[in-house]
Structure 1
Amino acid sequence: MKAFERADDVPFLAAEVAVDKAWTAASFRSATHVWNSYVTDPQVAPLSHHPRLMAVGGGYPVIELGESIGGLGVSGGSAEQDQQAAEAGLRTLGFEVPA
C-alpha cells in the first residue's frame, strides 16, 4: 500500500472495504462495479466468496502508459457515489478512467 486516507467519522469497515476494492481492481485490472455481472456466471461465482473480492462500485485499476500500476478504492457512500469519487480521484491524479 502506497497511500491511505480515512476521514475521522468514516466507519472502520468502510475503510477496509476501500482497501479491498483497490486490491480487487489491481488484482484483476478491472473496475469493481463490473464484478456484479461476473459473479452471476457459475464458473466465476466461487470467487464471490473470497474475503477480499469486492463486487461493488468504487474500485479502479490505476493505469499508466497502458500498464496497471496499482488500484484505487473508495468506500463510505453508495456504490454509485464511491464509483464517481474514484473516477474523480483518478482524473485529479492525471490518470484515465478505464472503460
Structure 2
Amino acid sequence: MKLRFLPLVAVLLAGHATAQEAVFQTKSLTPEAALKAAQAALESCRKQGYQIAVAVTDRTGLLQVLLRDRFAGAHTVTVATDKAWTAASFKTSTLEFGKDTQAGKSMSGIRQVPRVVAAGGGLPIEAGGTLVGAIGISGGPGGEADEACAKAGIKAIADALEL
C-alpha cells in the first residue's frame, strides 16, 4: 500500500518546487525609514550651510520621500530625484557612476538615457546585501558634499537596516 503513494508524493513535491521558482520576495524601505533618512540628510547639509533637496526612493527608483529646504534651488527637486533613481537603477554610487561613464569610456553613452545623473549625491541603500532603496541629494557645492549628506541619511537608519 505505501508504494502506491510514492508517485503522488513525488508529484506534489515537484509542484512545490515549481511554485517556489515562479515567485520571489523583495524587501523595500518603509515610508518611516525613508523619511528618517531624508530628514537626517537634510539636517546634515543644513549644519554645513547647504540648502538642498533630498529624495528617497524604493528599490525600483520610485519616489517615497522628497524634502526641499526653503532656499534650495528649483532644479534641486528633479536632480535629487534623478540621482536617487540612477543609484537605484544602476545599484551604485552616482559619484562612482560618473567616473565610470566619462567620455572615452565604454559606458559613456549611458549618460544620454533620460533621468541618468552621472554626478555625486546618489547612493543605493542596502540591507543584508540587498538593494532596498536609494537616496539622492542636490544643492551642495559639489557631488562629494551631496554624497556626504546622503551617507549621513543612510547612517541614521543603519541599525534598522541590519537584517
Instruction: State the TM-score, normalizing by the size of structure 2.
Output: 0.55
In structure 1, the residue matched to 2:153 is: 89
Q: What is the RMSD of the two structures over their aligned residues, measured on CA atoms?
A: 1.4
Say which one has the larger Rg.
2
Q: Which runs of 5+ in 2 are unaligned?
A: 1-62
- Stretches of 4+ moved more than 3 A in 1? none
In structure 2, the residue matched to 1:4 is: 66
Q: Quick one: distance in 2 between partners of 1:73 and 1:8?
A: 17
Map 1:23-34; keep pairs closer than 5 Å: 23-34=85-96
What is the SS of the residue equivalent to 2:66? coil
Q: How many residues align?
A: 95
Q: Quick one: distance in 1 between partners of 2:136 and 2:70?
A: 17
> What do residues 3-61 of structure 1 show as CA deviations (whole Å, max 9, x unaligned)?
11111211121111000010000001100001222213543111111231111111000
In structure 2, the residue matched to 1:57 is: 120
- The structure with the largest helix share of the pair is 2
Report % sequence identity: 33
Instruction: State the TM-score, normalizing by the size of structure 1.
Output: 0.87
* CA drift at 1:73: 0.3
In structure 2, the residue matched to 1:35 is: 97
In structure 2, the residue matched to 1:20 is: 82
